[in-house]
Amino acid sequence: MTSELDIFVGNTTLIDEDVYRLWLDGYSVTDAVALRVRSGILEQTGATAAVLQSDTMDHYRTFHMLERLLHAPPKLLHQLIFQIPPSRQALLIERYYAFDEAFVREVLGKKLSKGTKKDLDDISTKTGITLKSCRRQFDNFKRVFKVVEEMRGSLVDNIQQHFLLSDRLARDYAAIVFFANNRFETGKKKLQYLSFGDFAFCAELMIQNWTLGAVDSQMDDMDMDLDKEFLQDLKELKVLVADKDLLDLHKSLVCTALRGKLGVFSEMEANFKNLSRGLVNVAAKLTHNKDVRDLFVDLVEKFVEPCRSDHWPLSDVRFFLNQYSASVHSLDGFRHQTLWDRYMGTLRGCLLRLYHD
Amino acid sequence: MPGKLKVKIVAGRHLPVMDRASDLTDAFVEVKFGNTTFKTDVYLKSLNPQWNSEWFKFEVDDEDLQDEPLQITVLDHDTYSANDAIGKVYIDIDPLLYSEAATVISGWFPIYDTIHGIRGEINVVVKVDLFNDLNRFRQSSCGVKFFCTTSIPKCYRAVIIHGFVEELVVNEDPEYQWIDRIRTPRASNEARQRLISLMSGELQRKIGLKVLEMRGNAVVGYLQCFDLEGESGLVVRAIGTACTLDKLSSPAAFLPACNSPSKEMKEIPFNEDPNPNTHSSGPSTPLKNQTYSFSPSKSYSRQSSSSDTDLSLTPKTGMGSGSAGKEGGPFKALLRQQTQSALEQREFPFFTLTAFPPGFLVHVGGVVSARSVKLLDRIHNPAFVGIMGNTRSYKLLDWNSFNSDEPETRDAWWAEIRQEIKSHAKALGCHAVVGYSESTSICEEVCILSASGTAAVLNPRFLQDGTVEGCLEQRLEENLPTRCGFCHIPYDELNMPFPAHLTYCYNCRKQKVPDVLFTTIDLPTDATVIGKGCLIQARLCRLKKKAQAEANATAISNLLPFMEYEVHTQLMNKLKLKGMNALFGLRIQITVGENMLMGLASATGVYLAALPTPGGIQIAGKTPNDGSYEQHISHMQKKINDTIAKNKELYEISPPEISEEIIGSPIPEPRQRSRLLRSQSESSDEVTELDLSHGKKDAFVLEIDDTDAMEDVHSLLTDVPPPSGFYSCNTEIMPGINNWTSEIQMFTSVRVIRLSSLNLTNQALNKNFNDLCENLLKSLYFKLRSMIPCCLCHVNFTVSLPEDELIQVTVTAVAITFDKNQALQTTKTHVEKSLQRASTDNEELLQFPLELCSDSLSSHPLPPAKEHLESASSNSGIPAAQRATSVDYSSFADRCSSWIELIKLKAQTIRRGSIKTTVTVEKASPVGDGNFRNRSAPPCANSTVGVVKMTPLSFIPGAKITKYLGIINMFFIRETTSLREEGGVSGFLHAFIAEVFAMVRAHVAALGGNAVVSYIMKQCVFMENPNKNQAQCLINVSGDAVVFVRESDLEVVSTQQPTANCQSSCTEGGPS
């Protein structure tokens, strides 16, 4: 006796959260059944393995049918085939678009292309996430990217509107899209200590302050691309380190203000010129795409690592950066105050977030 | 020109991409009714076209309005080649033809293609202007309401129940026409869908005419079926019960009978009167009349004059006997006489209803059934009539049975069977058959026709005209014991139709009752039940040699009596094993296949307080001298006894101990007796009556004389009870549970198994079939575990044998949650009451105050009741894991729904290029504060698509049905030539059933409804050819579209007009 056909269709579509998770995690039906058996569900319910198998198959089939709709979540809301309560619809969408930290760190900043997709095998082996799940996550990134790529308006809002994600998840996706678009390097060994959250935080600050949409909402309101004009202008900041008088003045202003307030004052004093040069040079280099990509590598190399090797506590870093950016306002010979604020405001936020072990 | 149909095509959405180059579609719509077609403009390059067409107007006969469906075809315009069809929508406009139902059909309909399934949706508005042209009324039957519900619909009152109506129409099946060889599968499927739609329209119109002839205005319990006979054609047949219904105007004036059953149950025993106080004033209270009084303004003149004369006699005689104070012999005879005269005019005194107004059912005799094996022959005249052309004439084709040269029509076949049923009922001393249904099973050219029902004696009141005055009504009411009366035997004790063991009724101690009662109806609401009920199934397979034509029919006819006998024995054994004494909702299905016959009987077992306690099951061996064998037997016996004891505990069956001396009634010897009268005929008049009683054996003895019998006993014991927290039944409501909460989940589950063809024996077959059904049930319990405590109601199993080695089982049922604690309490008081009742004096006049007493007592929880409650709830607790998941879900749900709503709000406010405030450095620096702010969540989430509930029951728990919008009767075909790509057979059927549900919901929503009640999947024919990567499936569903209002909402808006309620829920169900 073999079962040829075995289905269950409810007027309200039954969604089993546990099975959904297993499906999203890319387990085969057999593996999912084994995992469910291990969870002790048979003992709790008195069911048999055959029942579990049939139930799992059924849910998998439902999810498979729903997947098409999940690719365009508004469709899930308007479709008539599956009657699903709104709360469950939200759950389906949210979980479908959720991603693994380990996976996103591998892909963040990479071009979402076929080439990267081929590397998923390696990522799967490396992270222990099933290939199927990797594919889903990768495809999700790519799909969101494609949809919002050419769109005007706020990136987060666009994502939320077209994918009905929660605020939190939409922000994460905005970061992923932003990173993919600007191809920031995140995979270097130096950057391994950083979490996705760190990058997402930076991305958000950058979107808010460094993109075209940040200054001029009337024209092309693009959140995806960095404001080219702004990057070009950043060259002007070079004077801060190129002009020796300005550099000395800047240093003395900072040192005067921080004397006695900083545990690592002497180290700071010794390193000031190096640090300032580092920060300003990063700004000046951003005209080249290649250097934009290396932004995070540079920041870590030029600022985070030197400070860390001198054991600066985070509070000192904050004091320093606040003073460092504020003191520029007192430099009479310096004319690019607004530019400096736009640059340093964001950078300060990023650096503080990046500064940890 | 009695009608103008107006159609407007508004828009489409989610259309499929028809042009690969542009990834878009140039869609337009054809609207066709009868022979007239209109077209919309082509809406270029869009998957969401906005046609916003003018009103297309069709001027048509009301006859056409009834028969024809409105056909909407969405096409993709192609300049160079033929336009490609995207899909179709058929809309049945019948609901617009009677005044009380829907006034407009408006909403999103799934666009359906028989090859691709649902492909987007289309928004359509349909209206009908009917001109009142009374002269033409005879040709159409506009205005007759149809209900699938097998009881009086909730917001109506039955003035008269006229009786049986039937009709059938025959046509050639387009699938088997020569043209089918050259046309595409799509064209063939569409021809079939359209033909069946036409035929059911015509059928409904013809039945409507019959109803009008009977002076009725509605058909209740309407059941329409298709017989796909292959080569020999396609039959659409329908049966129903003609009634004259009165709409109850305001919800406040609802009779208890129109309340949701949960209410009704609670109001026992005075459910015929909403105000119990009136009872204290004695039987002559005029208030009571109100309930049944017929409005004098409406006088219906009956068609047959003979019953009129009878009517004039009724009041006088009725009065005379009414004073007797108890139900005496002469009264009974008189009653019978009246009923007889009322019913004898009818050719078939059958009623498709399964639940009745209180007092309607007087006595129940037992199940009557008849089967007949027929041979389908080729149609002699294959000339093709009508569907492709424009004429709409169907020829009633001649059907030849194999052994006769005379032409025999389908009508005659059914008439023969019905005649048999009628005579069986008569043999049981009954004049009527209730809970009547008909079915067929077809395999190749052999067809088994089956009919079954419950023989009953009815109260003539409802069958006759409204001239009967209230006084009599009341007397009748007093004299007919409502609680146990239906159990009393209708037949003559001295002249019993079969050997039976009778005892005095355990309730009233006056009348005789049988020891076991089998019926096809629902449990009467006023019946006293002890404990809970449960689903009982008998399953059976019999191998049959493959044979042709006549030999095949003979072989089947020979097997049938044995199958019936065994099914019956199994039912009886299982009933006893459960410690119960009555079956309700019995449905025996015999399915014929190429090489086997399958029998599946489902029923709901209960313990009726009026019937005697069932005896146990004794096991006897044939070889008494073998010691070890003896031991084995006694071991089995012990197991059986243990099971009975366990079941009694499980279903809370604790009948009150009654001291024997009360009336000196003989304590019944447990004894098996059959109430099944059946016959098989093979298109001849030969009638075999089968005596199913086990001779003169005193106790019910199972003889184990061979391994077969051993197997039987084993299989008895292998039926596993549902897990704790679950109950199941195949009736409308579960006896013993009456506190339903509002959560319902209707579902359909299909399983097909392939038997290994090697050494198939009856035993192996039985085991396979048994496992199939048991596993299916187990799966259902597992899937629905989050609803615990809950009950599967109206569990409907259908078996078919699509191929040699395939068995298909389809189950449709609804899971309803209930409040465990309250349910227990009420059951307890129920038992309490019956206890009290049993011990009270038998003077009927005294019974009222006494019962009132017990009522008031039970409202205060009695100490023992409480104790019972606590222990029960602690014993049968839900496993912790399940509880945990459900809690987790709800909290998540709140969160999720709030932000989905938020997003929707945002979507409305965001405009392209909207102004964004520039974020300055200072503003951004306070880390994340502004970014991760919590947006305030709106309080409630509206679904974009209105929720439509579906249920096989006639009611929605916790809600009140305020309006019936019309019947839903839909037929779909789905075919695929890429079975593997669609996920195999399971994927294909899963998607199709989901689509069918979607289309039903969309139609209901478009009518302004928010639920389908009495939903039934009448057919699910699945055929596959995996080698060719093909599969085809036909599904036929029906139900009543309704508007319901939650009881909690009703209280809030009770001050408002009821129409306002309607409207609010209409808009809720509408498109958004």
Strand partners, B1046: B959
Best mutation site among B793, B900, B910, B993 for testing chain A: the one with the most A CBs within 10 Å? B900
**pLDDT at residue B137 tops 70:** no
Q: Residue A260 has what pLDDT?
A: 83
Chain A residues in contact with B1022 by the CB 8 A cut-off are 5
Give the chain B residue whose CA is nearest to the CA of A79.
B945
Tell me the H-state helices in B483-530. Answer: none
Please report the residues numbered 254 through 313 in chain A whose beta carbons come closer than 8 angstroms to any beta carbon of chain B: none
Which of B136-145, B706-715, B735-744 holds the top average pLDDT?
A: B735-744
Among candidates B511, B514, B523, B662, which has minimal Cα distance to B585?
B523
Which value, to the nearest 10 degrees, does the dihedral of the CA atoms of residues A277, A283, A287, A290 take? 80
Who has greater pLDDT, B506 or A155? A155
Torsion of CA A108, A112, A114, A118, to 10 degrees: 10
> Using CA atoms, how far apart are residues B272 and B896, in angstroms rounded to an integer?
47
**Residue B136: what pLDDT?**
47
For residue B664, give every residue at least 6 positions away whose Cβ sits within 8 Å of its Cβ, in sequence order, or none: none
CB-CB under 8 Å, B782 with A55: yes
Which residues of B fall within a CB distance of 8 Å from A201? Answer: 928
More confident residue, B528 or A131: A131
Distance CA A104, CA A141 (A): 9
Q: Which two tokens stand for residue A281?
A: 């040079």
Closest to A343 (Cα-Cα) out of A211, A184, A182, A234: A234
Q: Confidence class of residue B43 from pLDDT cuts 50, 70 and 90?
A: very high
Which residues sit opposite B539 in a β-bridge? Answer: B600
pLDDT of B744 higher than 60: yes
Specify the residue for token string 């075209």. Answer: A212
The answer, yes or no, to whether residue B1044 has pLDDT greater than 70, is: yes
**CB proximity under 8 Å: A 143-172 to B:** 152-154, 157, 160-161, 164, 166-168, 171
Highest mean pLDDT among A171-185, B167-181, B325-339, B931-945: A171-185
pLDDT of residue B35: 87
Structure tokens at B524: 């009467």
Average pLDDT over residues B790-804: 90
pLDDT of B610 over the 90 cut = no
The per-residue pLDDT for B487 is: 80
The average confidence (pLDDT) of chain B is 71
Q: Give the position of tokens 């409630």.
A: B940
Strands (E), B390-431: none
Could you tell me if A203 lies within 8 Å of chain B, comparing CB atoms?
no
pLDDT tens digits, one per residue of B664-701: 444 343 333 334 444 444 333 333 344 444 433 334 55
The DSSP code for B400 is B
**Amino acid in the structure at residue B1059:** T
Distance from the Cα of residue A64 to its chain's centroid: 28
Q: How far is A98 from chain B (nearest CA, A)?
A: 14
Give contacts of A223 with chain B, Cβ < 8 Å: none
Q: ipTM, 2 decimals?
A: 0.89
- One-letter amino acid identity for B379? I
Report the range of poorest mean pLDDT among A205-209, B531-535, B548-552, B916-920: B916-920
Pure H helices in B603-735: 627-650, 707-718
pLDDT at B470: 36
Whether residue A86 and residue B914 make contact (CB cut-off 8 A), yes or no, is no
| pLDDT of amino acid B982 | 87
How high is the pLDDT of residue B241? 92
Q: Which residues of B touch A171 (CB under 8 A)?
A: 931
Q: How many CB pairs under 8 A join A and B?
A: 238
Give the span between the Cα atoms of B96 and B143, in whole angstroms: 9
| Chain A residue numbers touching B995 (CB-CB < 8 A) | 81
Quick one: CA dihedral B291, B294, B298, B303, positive or negative? Answer: positive
pLDDT of residue A2: 67
- Residue B756 has a pLDDT of 79
Helices A265-285 and A337-354 pack at an angle, to 10 degrees, of 120
Given a cut of 50, the residues of chain A with pLDDT beneath it are none
Cα separation of B549 and B12, whole Å?
52
Q: Please tell me whether residue B538 adopts helix, strand or coil conformation.
A: strand
Token pair for B495: 């002249």
* Nearest-angstrom CA–CA distance, A106 and B768: 52
CA angle, corner B656, sides to B652 and B662, nearest 5?
165
Nearest CB to A9; choose among B13, B747, B775: B747
Angle, helices A244-258 vs A314-327, to 10°: value is 130
C-alpha pair distances (Å), B30 with each of B33, B74, B186, B189, B318: 10, 6, 17, 19, 63
Percent of chain B with pLDDT over 70: 62
A227 near B CB under 8 A:
no
Q: How far is CA B371 from CA B560, B564, B599, in A?
A: 9, 10, 13
Nearest Cα of chain B lies from the Cα of A126 at a distance, in angstroms, of: 32
| Contact at CB, A54 and B989, closer than 8 angstroms | no
Residues of chain B contacting residue A153, judged by C-beta atoms under 8 Å apart: 910, 912-914, 916
Q: Which of B1006, B1000, B1009, B998 is nearest to B1038 (CA)?
A: B1000
pLDDT above 90 covers what percent of chain B? Answer: 23
Q: Please indicate if any CB of chain B lies within 8 Å of the CB of A1.
A: yes
What are phi and psi for residue B997, nearest 5 degrees?
-55, -45
Q: Residue with structure tokens 């050494």? A: B759
Query: What is the band of B1050 on the pLDDT scale with cuts at 50, 70, 90?
Result: low
How high is the pLDDT of residue B499? 63
Distance CA B854, CA B832 (A): 8
In B222-344, which residue ranges form alpha helices assigned H by DSSP?
261-266, 277-280, 286-292, 305-322, 329-344
- The answer, yes or no, to whether residue B773 has pLDDT greater than 80, is yes
Provide the pLDDT for residue B625: 60
* C-alpha dihedral sign at B498, B499, B504, B506: negative
Which residues on neighbouring strands pair with residue B236, listed in sequence order?
Answer: B169, B226
On whether the CB atoms of residues B784 and B790 are closer than 8 A, the answer is yes
Per-residue pLDDT reduced to its tens digit, A25-38: 999 999 999 999 99
Nearest Cα residue to B456 out of B336, B347, B550 = B336
From first CA to last CA, the distance across chain A in angstroms is: 61
Q: Is B731 helix (H, G, I), strand (E, B) or coil?
A: coil
The CA-atom distances, in angstroms, between B527 and each of A135, A227, B265, B481 are: 61, 81, 10, 10
Q: Which of B464-478, B550-564, B990-1004 has the lowest mean pLDDT?
A: B464-478
Q: Helix, strand, or coil here: B939? A: coil
Beta strands in B184-233 (DSSP E): 218-228
Amino acid at B756: S
pLDDT digits (tens, 9 = 90+) for B388-436: 333 333 333 333 333 333 335 688 888 889 999 988 888 888 888 999 9
Do A85 and B893 make contact, defined as CB atoms within 8 angstroms? yes
pLDDT score of B609: 85
